[in-house]
Structure 1
Amino acid sequence: MKRKIELLAPGGDIDSIKAAIIAGADAIYCGLDKFNARNRAENIGIEELNGILRLAHKNSCEIFLTLNIIIIESEIPTLINLLNKLVNTGLDGIIVQDFGAFYLLEKYFPSLKIHASTQLTSHNEGQIKFLKRLTATRVNLCRELNLNEIKSLARTGHEHDLLTEVFVHGANCICFSGICYLSSVLGGNSGNRGRCSQPCRDQYLTTVRAKNFPLNLKDNSAYADLAELAEAGVDSIKIEGRIKKFHYVHTVVNSWRQQLRRLSNKEELLKDDENLHRVFNRGFSNAFLKGDINRNMFIDNPRDNSALHLAEIYGGASDENVTRAKKELYDLKTEIINDVRTRIDQLSIERAPLTISVSGKVGAQLKVSVTTPDTSFTLYSTTELAQTGRAITAIATKKGRANQVLDYEILLSRFKAVNDTEYFIETLELDALEENLFVPFKELTSLKSQLLFKLNGERAHHAPIDLPRLKKHDDKTERPCLSLLISSAEDIHLCRETSADVYFQLPSNFKNSLVKFIDLFCQNDKLIPWFPSILIGDDYRTAVEFLERVKPKGIVTDNTGIALAAYERGIKWVAGPHLNTVNSFSLLSLKEKFNCSGAFISNEINGRQIKAIKRPEGFDLYYSIYHPILLLTSRQCLFQQITGCAKKRMDESCIEGCEKTASISNLKDGTIFIEKSKGNYHHAYHETHFLNTDIATDTEGLFTSLFIDLRDIETKTERAVDKIDLIRLFADHLNDKADSAEILKRNISPTTCHQYTRGL
């Protein structure tokens, strides 16, 4: 096999990074204590990063840093300060979710390679091309995709010089990543901020199907599918586990390294994956990858399954066998820990010592000799050294930057930037330097730049940039207009009975109903199409065909693939609320790169965080003030574990035709409503709708439109008036009618606005 597949390992702390290196990882992804999507991991400090880079590169291993969260406006200065440091390291890539981070990296730090995080929910070819336009160099594909879908996206990626990586081992989420708000809504711990508390793993009241953990999936393992992944054109296979300990990382990485080695040598792949069962797991499934989404993907226990698995090998999960299995696994774990600990303790993340010897005499060039543990090199000034007496020395010192009288303090000060690299100045020798010599200031600056260039793998050193100041435009909206969302043909009469913009939610799957929807929009030209987050394969291509045939004047989309398709066809488009826009630079990115006309601001942020956002000139801002609160979207059938289903596995008719509702009750956080409508994936909703009557006054002049969701989605929230009267009540509120907020709350109850109160 000529093409090498990268083995990408997790590094939640220094020990895990070392363990991944000795186990044979080609690359490691790890996070700092800020801006990464695994805040529960120990992570690493910025002061340790250069030593880690040196250790990894010495062992032919790359390091990718995770900055994969959405970033609120007040954090942008901190992000810029961090990027000013990272740009002068040997980092091999930065993993990003936030569109604003993409914008800043491309504009001000183009030497840093950008990887698109799994949090960007990438699953169709349009999204691949969208990310390429954002200058991503690789993309992590959704875990829910099957081999044929992966193959198609890998091919598209290669056509656009974009690498693809796929998770092959570790935790499976019940929800498409990046659009899961379960932890955020229920506990204030946003998954889009790296704080997911995993309420999907929680215990719920026993369901009709006698399940206590109805949202808990088995772990992902594609161990037997490596050859098919290689055939699909995947560039990198990724192991999940940044909150796992070093013995786990070593065991899993080592097992996958053996499998990759056999593939490379054209040997028969291993079928025995018992080593993977001996460390933490919830049982394994490759069902997403095989396109076989079935009830056996669930496990009704979120804890470690390794002892139960071993007990079954002994003859069954009896108390005796479980006790025996736990003892054997404990002994094995201890053996692994001791062995790996001995090996990783021999690895150092200390930066390398460096000796600088400075020599020179009058009339000669200044010579700077540099010695590291690995190499040595010599640099020379371009001008000759001059000698000066005391009077001239005083003048040179007074002028400061004009000339530099060479002594220990001056040279150490000029070269101190070395200490921010993978090296540190251990010794500065001036024995061969005559006294009272000087060179122009610019000479020392040039020598410093050359020194950093050599030490940093012959990459140019970048001066720090200042935070870009965004202009606050005066094109304020006098009063926001009202807009609304429907999803039923029965509600189209609202177009005639209100002046509000009316959006119509298209389903994820409507290839067999395409003509019907084309006719619906052609007959009702006031309807504005709203595209959902998930559009995979043929569903994406159907949505693009709809755009081409209907040619709407404008759309709203939660899917970036459709955003690109609209941009390429000159169709006005608005970024939907599940694209998670929370800062000004995200808005600039969408406007400048894709001619986006407006965007919904995420409902995860509060009033103070919203008011910090600066709207780009000529750009519309939207906010949803009333809606059912989406918690998660799943490709899996959620009814299997709740109410049951006659089918053991999902088939093509499930998404298109299934229509069901159910609910589950969390032991801590109340009821979750499960909804499956025709043509859509399974959704979970909070027990009450969101209602925020404060936003109109809190952010006066910021929003172009305030939005209400009138789809018929069942929660505990009830309304006392019909939809047209409800629209009038909201219009009254936007027009500052007295007591309108209280009237709304009396007619819609119960509701919540905890997200707006808490923020991120």
Structure 2
Amino acid sequence: MKELEIVTKRKIELLAPGGDVDSIKAAILAGANAVYCGLDQFNARNRAANISFENLQGILHLAHSYNCEVFLTLNIIIIEREIPALISLLNKLVNTSIDGVIVQDLGMLYLLRKYFKSLNVHASTQLTNHNSGQIKFLSKLSSTRVNLSRELNIHEIQHLTSVAHENNVLTEVFVHGSNCISFSGICYISSVLSGNSGNRGRCSQPCRDQYITTAAGKNYPLNLKDNSAFFDLKELYEAGVDSLKIEGRIKKYAYVYTVVDAWRKQLDTFHNQNKIGEDNSHLYKVFNRDFSDTLLKGEISKNMFIDNPRDHSIKHLSEINSYASADEVEAGQLKLYQEKEEIKALVEAKINQLSAKKVPLQIHLSGECGTPLKVSVTTPERTFVVHSECDLLAKGTQPLDYEMVLKRFKAFNDTEYFIEEMSLEEIKADVYISFKELTSLKKRILYLLNGSKESLEPVQVPAITNLGLEADKPSLSVLISSEEDIYLTDETKADIYFQLPNCFKDKCSDFTDLFTRYKKLIPYFPSVIIGEDYSIAVEFLKQLKPKLIVTNNTGIAYEAYQLGIDWIAGPHLNIVNSYSLLALKEALNCSGAFISNELNRNQIKGIKKPTNFKLHYSIYHPIVLMTSRQCLFHQVTGCEKNRVDDTCIQACEKSSSIINLKKESFMIEKSKGNYHTIYNQNNFLNTEILNDLPAVFSSFMIDLRDVKTETKLASSKSELIQLFENRLEETANSETILKKVIQSTTNKQYKKGI
């Protein structure tokens, strides 16, 4: 054991995954303070078994009897036609004892903030939460907790937690389980390759696939070790983190129990004895890809990768034991398999003793004419009695009978309880009571069953009408990232966006000078801006005070709002419904937004824009599959450095490619000041939308940055801009000419949608 100098007082929540009922039971028994689980709709683990709403009610009762909270994952983007079903679900959830909902979609944040205020809102890691402005952005949209990006180091976590607490927001950090190689929420590789969007909970995990052996000799170049901060508890405590989250909603009950149990014991040892346990052997006895905590330590290195996505348990056993022969290896493996089966059997026996079924109610009604109706309600834990406020009558519309009572009391079956038995045997003769009085009795019983919490009537959310006037003839906008292309500002009337880098270190004054000299340039911010780079980016905004920006980062959006700068939500903010537009406009004074390129024609068609709000769409661009803080060249071409440092981000400029077993190639680019990005082999080109959805969009963007893909251009950038302008003007043959000039493109995402 490692002795610690500090005396611990503050408790940290241990948050466990629950992909099905058995896993939830396992987490509760192993000592989780909270579990997160998903229903069979609206959650980002489509491959998990998930649970029904009926299951949820029983789970809530079980968990709360063990002082364990339950958070519901609603962490996908919601397309327009799903909004009525979502509102219906939220109307049900407000009358449950759910402890919080985990959310990605900005439109859902809007609905929760405006109509369902009783629900605690947790911002999902799918919102790519990594800077202080994003914490404030989410706080303004009523988030009470933020799940921070996995890529952050302990110093960045500490700073963001401090900012969060200043804004009455809790922080949650992933501490164990699978690591994504891409920043969550801005990974589109599964969406592009198979139509299974990670933002819809359908990720097919192509990052775990085998690829043609790279020059560095790797077959799984995108495959990371699992995350485990098991020995970093002291640092997380000192950083002020509120919740430690274990990943694994597609894992089964034996895995969940083993991992949660190990973490529970580690936490208890830390809290009670001021010690950190040094034995993590139990974590190796269930599925793992070996472990790494280097992201947390800020040491992004080649040691984070493992060239095999399968279970590492057996290999780890061989590594820690010095077997003298093949027979000893086989015997050791057999022993581990047996131990795994024993763990499974032990956990199964434990969880079978728990019931996650809804709680039975026995209801007995009694009374006679001239006395109040007496309703006795019995649960396994207690009995209580309520009386009607009016006496039973000898005359009325309908005599009090079983069907009449059940019609009013059947609402109990929509709670954590169900009517097992209902008796009217003690009702003397035919008596009458008003429907209104029975309804009042129902509400009082629900109030007592729900822990003295009033039931809420369903909210009727007003339908959104298309308040924005039809768009004028759409204009063109152009994205560039090189000073060599600034000449284009003199050759077109199109808006020219200039892509800023992920990392601003020592560049603030340079960029301020650039935009001061070229007044027509509009700053275009990337999705990821972390730590000092974020502070410098904010300083740049304050110094320049541009009239307009485009941003894919909600932290920059918040700062623009604070500074009174007009801003447009970029294409990687995953805007897919009308309520997202309302959230951005009403809460943060946004003037326009790009609609996600993951949507198809029909999914876009239903979106309605607010008054004085413009819709934008990227009609041509290299397709970003993922952005990573890791160095991808370690696994692809090799690199002389073992770890990423500041000079890598600022100075490294490389490109390469990987090829999967289907012979599809993906371009890896590392440009100066930016993180590693993987692009699709073919650029996105969608001119069909001009005919499909006329008078919807105010502007169409074309991305002319120098990103090398297999798409080839047979004209200069100036000529290409003119061709797109001709297409917007519907010049004869402009479509045909464009498709001849731009070769090898795709609009598969637009065809399929999400």
Name the TM-score, length of structure 2 as normaliser. 0.97
Where 1:614 maps in the other structure, the secondary structure is coil
Aligned length: 747
Q: Is 1:656 matched with 2:650?
A: yes
Q: Deviations over 1:472-494 (max 9, x none)?
A: 23611131100010111111111
Counterpart among 332, 357, 369 of residue 364 in structure 2? 357
**Which has the larger displacement, 72-81 or 353-362?**
353-362
The residue type equivalent to 2:175 in the other structure is V
Superposition deviation, residue 437 in structure 1: 2.6
Letter in 1 for 2:275: E
Question: What SS does structure 2 have at the residue aligned with 1:632?
Answer: strand
Q: Which amino acid aligns with 1:29?
A: Y
| Separation in 2, partners of 1:127, 1:626 | 28
- Give the match for residue 635 of structure 1: 629
Which residue of the partner structure matches residue 32 of structure 1? Answer: 39
Cα deviation, 1:590-628, whole Å, max 9, x if unaligned, reads: 111111101000000101111111111211000000000
AA aligned opposite 2:705: R
Report if aligned partners of 1:308, 1:325 keep a CA contact under 8 Å in 2. no
Structure 2 matches for 1:525-540, cutoff 5 A?
Answer: 525-540=519-534
CA distance in 1, matches of 2:192, 2:691: 24
- For residues 596 and 474 of structure 1, the distance between their equivalents in structure 2, rounded to whole angstroms, comes to 14
Between the aligned partners of 1:110 and 1:429, the Cα distance in structure 2 is 38
Cα drift, residue 363 of structure 1: 3.3
* Alignment pair present for 1:260 and 2:267: yes
> 1:15-164 residue pairs with structure 2 within 5 A?
15-164=22-171
Contact 1:9–1:253 (CA under 8 A) maintained in structure 2:
yes
Q: For residue 738 of structure 1, what is the amino acid of its counterpart?
A: A
Query: Which one is further off, 457-466 or 200-209?
Result: 457-466
Matched, 1:368 2:375: yes
2:385 maps to 378
* CA distance in 2 between partners of 1:742 and 1:433 (Å): 83
Aligned partner letter, 1:137: T
Report if aligned partners of 1:631, 1:683 keep a CA contact under 8 Å in 2: yes
Quick one: distance in 2 between partners of 1:461 and 1:748?
59
Q: In the TM superposition, what whole-angstrom CA distance separates every residue of 1:527-568 from its partner, at most 9, and x where no partner exists?
A: 110111111111111111111000000100000011010111
Structure 1 residue 438, shift from structure 2 partner = 2.6
User: 592, 601, 604: which is aligned to 1:598?
Assistant: 592
Deviations 1:156-182 (A, max 9, x none): 111111111100000001000000001
CA gap of 1:743–1:505, structure 2 versus 1, over 3 A, is same
Report what 1:400 is aligned to: none
Q: What letter is aligned with 2:90?
A: L
Equivalents in 1 of 2:123, 2:561: separation in Å?
Answer: 20
Q: Is the 8 A contact 2:468 2:610 kept in 1?
A: no
How far residue 265 of structure 1 moved from its aligned partner, in angstroms, is 0.3
User: Does 2:167 align with 1:173?
Assistant: no
Aligned-CA RMSD value = 1.3
Q: Which residue of 1 aligns with 2:334?
A: 327
Task: Give, in whole Å, the separation in 2 of the partners of 1:322 and 1:43.
Answer: 38
- For the Cα contact (< 8 Å) 1:634–1:682, is it kept in 2? yes
For residue 705 of structure 1, what is the aligned residue in structure 2? 699
* Structure-2 separation of matches of 1:742 and 1:506: 33
Percent identity, please: 60
Return the match for 2:248 from 241, 247, 253.
241
CA distance in 2, matches of 1:321, 1:501: 70
Secondary structure of the corresponding residue to residue 2 of structure 1: coil
Paired letter, 2:387: Y
Letter in 2 for 1:422: E
Instruction: List aligned pairs for 1:235-314, cutoff 5 A.
Output: 235-314=242-321
Matches within 5 A, 1:309-708: 309-315=316-322, 320=327, 322-388=329-395, 393=396, 396-397=397-398, 405-473=399-467, 475-668=469-662, 670-708=664-702
Instruction: List per-residue Cα deviations over 1:637-664 (Å, max 9, x = no partner).
Output: 0111111111111111111111111111
Q: Is the 8 A contact 2:99 2:119 kept in 1?
A: yes
Amino acid at match of 1:692: N
The residue correspondences of 1:170-209 to structure 2 (distance < 5 A) are: 170-209=177-216
Measure the CA separation in 2 of the matches of 1:152 and 1:445.
52
CA distance in 2, matches of 1:570, 1:475: 24
- SS of the equivalent of 2:185 reads coil
Q: Give the match's secondary structure for 2:436.
A: helix
**Per-residue Cα deviation, 1:420-452 (whole angstroms, up to 9, x for no partner):** 111111222223333333333322222111111
Q: What's the CA shift string for 1:656-711, capped at 9, x where partnerless?
A: 11111111111125001000111111100000111011111111010010000010
TM norm structure 1: 0.97
**Offset of residue 91 of structure 1:** 0.8
* Residue type of the alignment partner of 2:151: E
Structure 2 residue identity aligned to 1:235: D
Residues in 1 aligned to 2:380 and 2:113: alpha-carbon distance in whole angstroms: 35
Equivalent residue of 1:439, what SS?
A: coil
Tell me, what secondary structure is at the counterpart of 2:681? strand
CA apart distance, 1:349: 1.3
Match of 2:238 in 1: 231
Contact 2:468 2:613 in 1 (8 A): no
Runs of 4+ in 1 over 6 A off after TM superposition: none
Counterparts in 2 of 1:474 and 1:154: CA distance versus 1, 3 Å = closer
Q: Which runs of 5+ in 2 are unaligned?
A: 1-7
SS at match of 2:680: strand
Query: Structure 2 CA distance, aligned partners of 1:558 and 1:454?
Result: 47
CA distance in 2, matches of 1:458, 1:157: 31
Task: Tell me the amino acid that sits aligned with residue 470 of structure 1.
Answer: I
Matched residue SS, 2:459: coil
Distance of 1:530 and 1:324 partners within structure 2: 60
Partner of 2:3: none
CA offset at residue 573 of structure 1? 0.5
Deviations 1:41-76 (A, max 9, x none): 111111211111111111111111111000111111
Shift of 1:319: 5.4
Q: CA deviation at 1:237?
A: 0.3
